[in-house]
Amino acid sequence: MDPWELLDASLLMSKSPWLRVYQETVRLPSGRILDDFYRVVLPDFAVAVTLTVDKQLVMVRGYKHGLKRVCLSAPAGLVEVGESPLETAQRELMEETGYQTSNWQYLGRFVVDGNRQCGTAHLFLARDAIQVTDGNTGDETENVQVELIKPNEFLRHIKSNEIALLATVGAVGLAMMSAMAEERS
């Protein structure tokens, strides 16, 4: 349970702004030293789980190169320089879907990989969203189609492998748990 002690970190690779890899030397609580612990630093990103006024989930369908295929995911994107994670979530929701709302709830920040780090996901729940533009105004690496699904259809899209990204599952799962806890209280 005790923390590991960081003895040394050397930067093995830097591909700014996308990726840095460090090789760390750490001392475990037992005293044993590991000299090959790799840490991968990726940019923070924000995920906007979004419900319309009539309680449908605003999702996007598009090609994801990490998956090498098209999938259905929650609107999301990298936090840009000078932006807060909330501003990122709002910008990505607007760019990808054209939806907008003033009703935003912060669900929390979560490290992507417990060993390697791999960036931090900031998860948000946006409610009462209305569509004000057609969306899809992001750059061409983010070419998507908006798709509304009922929250109780989420599991069906999981079973059919259309929802295939960990951040979407985490964000929607947490949003649904939060919304249900509020209804009960």
Of residues 122 through 151, those in contact with a copy of itself by CB under 8 A are 123, 140-141, 143-145
Within residues 45-84, the interface with a copy of itself by CB under 8 A covers 61-71, 73, 76
With beta carbons less than 8 A apart as the criterion, state whether 107 and 29 touch.
no
Nearer CB in complex with a copy of itself: 4/87: 4
Applying CB under 8 A, among 12, 33, 130, 132 the residue interacting with a copy of itself is: 12
Contact between 17 and a copy of itself by CB under 8 A: the answer reads no
Give me 113's structure tokens: 């990989």
- In three-state secondary structure terms, 146 is strand
The CA R_g of the chain, rounded to the nearest whole Å, is 19
Q: CA–CA separation, 12 vs 30, rounded Å?
A: 27
Interatomic CA distance for residues 31 and 109, integer angstroms = 31
Residues 146-175 that bind a copy of itself (CB under 8 A): 152, 154-155, 158-159, 161, 164-167, 169-170, 172-174
The answer to whether residue 9 forms part of the interface with a copy of itself (CB under 8 A) is no
Nearer to a copy of itself, 84 or 143 (CB): 143
CA atoms within 13 Å, Cβ hemisphere of 99:
30
Name which position in 9, 11, 13, 33 contacts a copy of itself (CB under 8 A). 13
